[in-house]
Amino acid sequence: MAPDRPRIFVHVGLPKTGTTYLQDRLWRNRDIAMRTSGLLYPGTTMQDHFHAAVHLQPDRYLDWVDPAHAGVWRALVEQMRAWPGTSVVSHELFSTATDVQAASVIADLDFADVHVVVTVRDLARQIPSVWQENIKNQHRSTLDGFVDSLRTRPLAEQEPFWEFQDHGRILRTWGAHLPPGNVHLVTVPRAGGGSDPTSLWDRFVGLLDADGDALDRPVPPSNAALSPAQVELLRRLNEHLQPDRVEWARYETAVKRILIGSVLFGTPGRAGRSLSPEQSEWAAAQSDSMIADIEASGWDVVGDIEDLRVARVTAAGTGEPGIEETLDVAVSALADVLATMPLPIDRPRVRTRAKAVLRGAARPLLGVRAARRARRRP
């Protein structure tokens, strides 16, 4: 009898469903996972999975395609081919692959029993979270404008959302050549309740047949929510920091790494925006339709599908922050930046300027001396 083929799980998103946490924890515990669970998280660096996803879609992610990493996907495949146990590839940018691109990935893994996984969160939490992430990447719409775009505009004219979040389309794209039982949807638990109280981590690694408790190296928090006023500050800054004025490398360092990562994330008591009753009613209808699609698909659901159902709310949402609140956040952030920013050390230039000042001060004196000498001449 031929030996069982190795299993490979391709985790294709969705963005803003805990993917960064899952990937970070897998990477930090990869040696333990190999030893205790026979689980391979391949790659030389954690970024290899990102490079594999963008090189699969070079036209879409042209700015991130680096020829130096053109062979990353092939290297990942060869590592997984040599591994007799279970492997997992994970990046949320796989979610935007076309039918042809997804089929090419599945074909490259024809030596294995391939499974596709998405992690999914309810729309009431997902919509504000994606909107906030867009703002952290130079977008300028308000939350109300963002939701109105999703509700009223044709798909091609909408704010970026469904191309990354339509899990039904994404699973059909990736699962087209797989049996339904090899297509998995892992629900993100609701905070503080639900019929299945296990964490997203437990659900995800349980699907991989890994011992999640053994993979206990800590992971620092990431992608935390900003307060409404903090997001409004960024949104207004983005009016002045568009790509035609500020290149992405500068924005990523100055805004994302310093202002957001070091200053805004350091303030306590942050809570994100929530949908209004009218918006949640629309989101609930969308959610009901998407859940019905899942139930009819035959896909494997890990967790509780009710985690994806949006409850109709009657209380008003958090609403747009006021000018005074936003100004307070801006002043506080500016104070932190000024108090902690590195100061330039340019002593040679200071000495040069000092000499110039002395030279400038001496000129009138030299002129007086020259005049005196001229008067003494016969």
Q: Which of 34-48, 163-177, 195-209, 345-359 is predicted with the least confidence, judged by mean pLDDT?
A: 345-359
Do the beta carbons of residue 39 and residue 85 sit within 8 Å? Answer: yes
- Token pair of 253 as six digits: 């360092």
Element (H, E) at 302: strand 300-302
Taking the CB of residue 76, how many other CB atoms lie within 10 A of it?
Answer: 23
Distance CA 222, CA 284 (A): 28
Distance CA 287, CA 304 (A): 14
In tens, the pLDDT along 247-269 reads 988 999 999 999 999 899 877 66
**Model pTM?**
0.85
Q: Which of 79-83, 146-150, 173-177, 216-220 is predicted with the least confidence, judged by mean pLDDT?
A: 216-220
In tens, the pLDDT along 311-337 reads 877 776 667 888 999 999 999 999 998
Give me the helix-helix angle, 167-174 and 277-297, nearest 10°. 20
Distances (CA, A) of 162 to 38, 126, 133, 258: 35, 11, 14, 30
In tens, the pLDDT along 210-236 reads 999 999 998 887 667 899 999 999 999
Give, in degrees to the nearest 5, the angle at Cα 16 between 254 and 227: 55
What is the number of alpha carbons within 13 Å of residue 120 lying toward its C-beta? 31
174: left (phi over 0), alpha (psi -120 to 50) or beta: alpha
Distances (CA, A) of 286 to 15, 124, 147: 18, 10, 13
What is the number of alpha carbons within 13 Å of residue 78 lying toward its C-beta? 6
- For the chain, the maximum distance between any two Cα atoms, rounded to a whole number of angstroms, is 122
Distance CA 298, CA 233 (A): 45
Do the beta carbons of residue 304 and residue 194 sit within 8 Å? Answer: yes
Do the beta carbons of residue 310 and residue 122 sit within 8 Å? Answer: yes
- According to the model, what pLDDT value does residue 345 have? 76
- According to the model, what pLDDT value does residue 29 have? 97
Buried b (16+ CB within 10 A) or exposed e, 18-32: bbbbbbbbbbbbbeb
Q: Which of 37, 329, 378, 12 is nearest to 205 (CA)?
A: 37
Q: Which of 95-99, 130-134, 317-321, 374-378 is predicted with the least confidence, judged by mean pLDDT?
A: 374-378
- Token pair of 192 as six digits: 């503080």
Q: Write out the DSSP string of 182-197.
A: GEEEEEPPPTT--S--
